[in-house]
């Protein structure tokens, strides 16, 4: 039996080696460092294209190359010897030309972005003409684009994962690891263990929205698999005066003209985080401040023939999702609700004037953009009359990207204007990016009390002036008289608090006043998200709008509810004022939400190639994960493979040997004999 011993001995040695090796791998496993606080770029689809980024299914891995400058990146693209690489680059190197080179290079498996020492001069991955397919034709000329620094990278299909890391510690960790293992003798990198990254952000959806929705709807088994969801959330609207009257508030008020004051509430960025300070927060705050001030100065008991509808649209970044749906319902006679029992139907033709508040950073001049041929002379004059010490200008035949495009598509002569801080191109160099935050606006929280007045010239006082101008002009439009009362300007404290809510701390005084929940202290992202997961910020914005346009009916208590049901109104317990959060009053408000989901997803048999409505969907994904680990050298890997193969072959031999000697190794099984009864 001597000849059997040798292979067994050899096998033992090999197994021992493997055991040691496995041990080594375990040690390496410990080198895996999960990193959080990173934001990934993800995939979206429209009717015809896929955009955004994805990793491989189990994650994409690559050797870290920490770059400070363009030459570091060039070096690795030209002379890297141990691909694939994951360059770690500052945001100012994330340019169209670099992304194109990274896409073409076969050496790149992912990109990690970090905020450099200084903010870049500009950083906007929106297109130069935002919403090119859904805006009115001819409103964005190639010679004079709205977003001149726009790279359009947000709309590119990038075949590798891109992560943005905010945490400085994480970047420091990656840098130190790079310096220790990778940053020397580059020509022999292949032969060493290298510090590497694993980026996991696998996207399940592909091709285009119609394909993806069709695949998601296929009922192949009891558990349908979803690949993508339509982008969507809610719009919020409120009316200045009630839409009903009568002792029981059940008689709809008809024959009233409406002035729509609109703003958008969403922003986007390549990475899942958006505060959107200049766009949309300045416009949104101006709208809320206008609503509050107008409510304060207008008598409520008169029967005016004009009402104001404040509407905040959602999803406007993605081909005007919110306004498209709003107009769709308006034209079908479904606004404010389908049931016409209590509320008057409001039609497109009932809108007399449309005013949209766009980007409004503090600038010398506020500019009214409008298309010629719409009857606006009167209202522009009113704005001029009420501008106070603001400087006001007009840009005729000019219309920046705005929700009003959707309205003008159906009613070409709708008197409409967009108030903005720019005459030509956007002044905001960070439009739809992570850098459009409080510092872009130079915003500092003043933490005012009711009667404080700010001495200095800041964004708060600027928005106050815009809101005052607009509200006084609307007052004149509605009452045909100039406002002469005591409240001379819009509420500065409210404006200051709103900026604080949206840009710094969601658990702010306004949000405490309108609902009694504790919120997280971070600002809430203004990205629209998907239809199936409604955003709480939308509810908060709607309630804020309701709070400032509502009427107090008495002290707040349990009787302040929506029973008996009246579809025109809601009753809410809300604080009396920002300085008196603990006193609750009962508010009767005319506010509601309407769906902001593109009509494309509700129309049966929608023609996806028609381009009529927004078709954006967002891919489903699993984990978003980032890990640092030591990747063994190529030699080590080869060794592992060699050993593995050897083990495999030996195992085969062993099995063969055991099988062929089975009759010797195992005693032959005797047939069991039936017990005999002898
Ligand atoms: C979506 O992709 C599918 C598959 O490639 C293609 O057949 C279809 O025409 C595309 N749809 C549109 C609207 O382009
Ligand atoms: C890459 O290597 C070549 C020769 O090996 C050298 O001439 C060139 O300067 C290197 N490029 C960079 C960017 O270092
Ligand atoms: C879909 O998005 C791509 C990339 O931005 C664009 O080129 C294309 O025109 C869009 N398709 C539609 C139908 O809007
Ligand atoms: C990599 O090494 C070079 C040369 O030694 C050094 O200048 C550079 O700072 C190092 N990079 C990092 C990220 O430490
Ligand atoms: C108001 O409601 C009361 C009780 O529901 C009812 O008796 C009365 O007729 C209603 N009045 C009007 C004008 O509808
Ligand atoms: C408004 O109309 C209601 C009902 O038609 C009427 O009772 C009320 O007196 C009017 N108010 C004013 C100020 O005209
Ligand atoms: C506006 O919508 C209505 C109702 O859908 C339609 O009849 C009309 O032709 C549209 N107008 C324009 C200019 O598209
Ligand atoms: C916003 O306004 C402030 C104050 O005028 C100015 O310093 C800042 O540069 C502006 N930001 C942009 C993006 O225009
Ligand atoms: C605002 O002022 C109040 C009262 O003066 C103070 O308690 C609070 O801490 C201040 N908030 C901030 C964020 O400074
Ligand atoms: C609520 O309404 C009922 C019936 O009108 C009344 O009896 C009760 O006192 C009210 N409760 C409060 C807290 O006002
Ligand atoms: C709000 O809108 C929803 C959906 O259209 C509707 O069911 C509800 O009755 C409305 N509520 C009010 C108070 O208008
Ligand atoms: C308001 O209520 C909170 C919690 O009930 C309490 O801590 C706080 O002291 C109250 N503030 C005032 C001014 O009464």
* Ligand located closest to 518 CA: 12
Residue numbers in the chain where pLDDT is lower than 50: 1-5, 16, 19-20, 22-30, 673-678
The CA 447 to ligand 9 mean position distance, Å, reads 6
* Ligand located closest to 90 CA: 4
Angle at 224 between CA 219 and CA 225, to 5 degrees: 125
User: Cβ contacts of residue 493 below 8 Å, gap of 6+?
Assistant: 448, 449, 450, 452, 578
Nearest CA to ligand 4 atom 6: 183
Assess whether the C-beta atom of 325 lies below 6 angstroms from ligand 11. no
User: Cβ contacts of residue 614 below 8 Å, gap of 6+?
Assistant: 46, 134, 231, 315, 318, 319, 320, 321, 324, 598, 600
Residue 639 Cα distances to 8, 140, 584, 632, angstroms: 22, 60, 74, 10
Q: How far apart are CA 147 and CA 126, in angstroms?
A: 8
What confidence score (pLDDT) does residue 3 get? 45
Q: How far apart are CA 429 and CA 536, in angstroms?
A: 28
Assess whether the C-beta atom of 117 lies below 6 angstroms from ligand 6. no
Nearest CA to ligand 6 atom 3: 303
Ligand 9 nearest atom to the CA of residue 447, by list position: 1
Q: How far apart are CA 85 and CA 112, in angstroms?
A: 11
* Among 293, 262, 264, residue whose Cα is nearest residue 280: 264
pLDDT tens track for 2-18: 444 455 555 555 554 55
Q: How far apart are CA 336 and CA 237, in angstroms?
A: 9
Nearest CA to ligand 6 atom 12: 302
Eight-class DSSP state of 108: B
Q: How far apart are CA 536 and CA 598, in angstroms?
A: 20
pTM for the full model? 0.90
Ligand 1 nearest atom to the CA of residue 207, by list position: 2
Assess whether the C-beta atom of 559 lies below 6 angstroms from ligand 10. yes
Eight-class DSSP state of 231: B
38 and 163 in contact (C-beta within 8 Å)? yes
The CA 72 to ligand 4 mean position distance, Å, reads 10
Angle at 403 between CA 436 and CA 508, to 5 degrees: 45
Assess whether the C-beta atom of 39 lies below 6 angstroms from ligand 11. no
The CA 557 to ligand 10 mean position distance, Å, reads 9
Pocket of ligand 9 (CB under 6 A): 445, 447
Ligand 11 mutation target, pool 592, 593, 596, most atoms within 8 A of CB:
592
Nearest CA to ligand 1 atom 1: 208
In the sheet that holds 162-165, the strands lie side by side as: 33-35, 625-631, 194-200, 60-66, 85-90, 111-114, 162-165, 38-40
The alpha carbon of residue 56 and the mean position of all alpha carbons in its chain are separated, in whole angstroms, by: 23
* Among 509, 514, 524, residue whose Cα is nearest residue 447: 509
* Ligand located closest to 45 CA: 3
Ligand 8 mutation target, pool 278, 439, 442, 461, most atoms within 8 A of CB:
442
452 and 446 in contact (C-beta within 8 Å)? yes
- Helix-then-strand count for the chain, H and E: 15, 26
Nearest CA to ligand 9 atom 9: 447
Assess whether the C-beta atom of 567 lies below 6 angstroms from ligand 11. yes
55 and 201 in contact (C-beta within 8 Å)? yes
Nearest CA to ligand 8 atom 13: 428
Assess whether the C-beta atom of 570 lies below 6 angstroms from ligand 11. yes
Q: How far apart are CA 12 and CA 402, in angstroms?
A: 74
Residue 194's DSSP bridge partners are: 631
Ligand 6 nearest atom to the CA of residue 245, by list position: 4
Q: How far apart are CA 572 and CA 570, in angstroms?
A: 6
Assess whether the C-beta atom of 121 lies below 6 angstroms from ligand 6. no
Pocket of ligand 4 (CB under 6 A): 66, 175, 178-179, 183
Ligand 5 mutation target, pool 244, 245, 248, most atoms within 8 A of CB:
248
Q: Residue 623 burial (CB < 10 Å; 0-12/13-18/19+)? A: exposed
621 and 204 in contact (C-beta within 8 Å)? yes
* Among 373, 363, 263, residue whose Cα is nearest residue 309: 263
661 and 25 in contact (C-beta within 8 Å)? no
Q: How far apart are CA 469 and CA 446, in angstroms?
A: 22
Q: How far apart are CA 494 and CA 548, in angstroms?
A: 10
> Which residue intervals of 1-159 are DSSP H helices?
2-29, 70-79, 96-104
What token pair was written down for 226?
Answer: 């979803």
């Amino acid at each position: 039996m001597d000849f059997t011993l040798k292979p067994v001995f050899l096998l033992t040695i090999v197994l021992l080696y493997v055991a040691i090796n496995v041990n080594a791998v375990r040690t390496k496993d410990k080198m895996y460092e999960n990193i959080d606080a990173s934001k990934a770029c993800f995939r979206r689809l429209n009717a015809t294209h896929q955009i955004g980024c994805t990793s491989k299914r189990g994650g994409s891995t690559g050797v870290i190359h920490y770059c400070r400058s363009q030459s570091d990146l060039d070096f690795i693209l030209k002379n890297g010897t141990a691909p694939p690489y994951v360059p770690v680059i500052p945001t100012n190197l994330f340019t169209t030309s670099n992304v194109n080179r990274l896409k073409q290079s076969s050496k790149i498996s992912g990109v990690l972005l970090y905020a450099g020492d200084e903010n870049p001069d500009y950083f906007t991955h929106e297109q130069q003409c935002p919403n090119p397919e859904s805006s009115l034709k001819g409103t964005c000329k190639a010679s004079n684009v709205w977003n001149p620094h726009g790279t359009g990278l947000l709309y590119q299909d990038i075949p590798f994962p891109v992560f943005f890391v905010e945490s400085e510690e994480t970047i420091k960790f990656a840098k130190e690891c790079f310096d220790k293992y990778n940053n020397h003798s580059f020509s022999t990198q292949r032969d060493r263990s290298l510090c590497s990254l694993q980026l996991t952000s696998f996207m399940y959806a592909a091709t285009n929205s119609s394909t993806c929705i069709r695949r998601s709807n296929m009922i192949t088994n009891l558990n349908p698999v979803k690949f993508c969801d339509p982008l969507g959330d809610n719009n919020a609207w409120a009316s200045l005066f009630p839409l009903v009257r009568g002792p029981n508030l059940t008689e709809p008020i008809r024959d009233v003209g409406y002035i729509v004051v609109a703003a958008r509430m969403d922003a986007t960025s390549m990475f899942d985080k958006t505060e959107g300070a200049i766009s949309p927060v300045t416009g949104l705050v101006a709208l809320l401040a206008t609503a509050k001030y107008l409510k304060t100065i207008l008598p409520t008991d008169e029967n005016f023939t004009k009402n104001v509808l404040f509407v905040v649209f959602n999803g406007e970044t993605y081909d005007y999702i919110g306004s498209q749906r709003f107009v769709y319902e308006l034209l079908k006679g479904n606004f404010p609700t389908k049931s016409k029992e209590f509320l008057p139907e409001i039609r497109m033709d009932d809108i007399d004037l449309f005013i949209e508040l766009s980007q409004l950073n503090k600038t010398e001049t506020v500019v009214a953009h409008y298309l010629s041929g719409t009857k606006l002379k009167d209202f522009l004059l009113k704005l001029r009359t009420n501008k106070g010490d603001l400087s006001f200008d007009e840009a005729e035949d000019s219309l920046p990207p705005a929700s009003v495009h959707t309205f003008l598509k159906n009613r070409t002569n709708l008197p409409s204007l967009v108030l903005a801080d720019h005459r030509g191109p956007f002044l905001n160099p960070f439009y739809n990016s992570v850098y459009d935050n409080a510092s872009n606006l130079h915003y500092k929280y003043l933490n005012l009390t009711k009667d404080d007045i700010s001495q200095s010239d800041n964004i708060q006082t600027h928005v106050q002036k815009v809101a005052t101008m607009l509200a006084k002009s609307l007052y004149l439009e509605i009452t045909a008289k100039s406002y002469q009362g005591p409240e001379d300007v819009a509420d500065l404290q409210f404006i200051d608090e709103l900026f604080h809510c949206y840009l710094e701390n969601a658990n702010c005084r306004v949000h405490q006043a309108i609902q009694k929940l504790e919120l997280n202290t971070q600002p809430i992202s203004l990205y629209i998200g998907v239809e199936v997961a409604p955003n709480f910020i939308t509810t908060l914005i709607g309630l804020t709008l309701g709070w400032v346009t509502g009427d107090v009916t008495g002290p707040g208590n349990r009787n302040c509810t929506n029973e008996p049901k009246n579809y025109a109104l809601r009753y809410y317990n809300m604080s009396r004022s920002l300085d008196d959060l603990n006193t609750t009053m009962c508010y009767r408000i005319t506010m509601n939400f309407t769906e902001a989901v593109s009509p494309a997803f509700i129309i049966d048999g929608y023609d996806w190639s028609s381009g009529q409505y927004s078709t954006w969907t967002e891919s489903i994904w699993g984990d978003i994960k980032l890990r640092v680990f030591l990747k063994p050298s190529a030699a080590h890997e080869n060794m592992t493979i060699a050993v593995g193969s050897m083990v495999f072959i030996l195992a085969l031999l062993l099995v063969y040997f055991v099988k062929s000697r089975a009759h010797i190794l195992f005693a032959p099984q005797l047939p069991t004999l039936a017990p005999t009864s002898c």
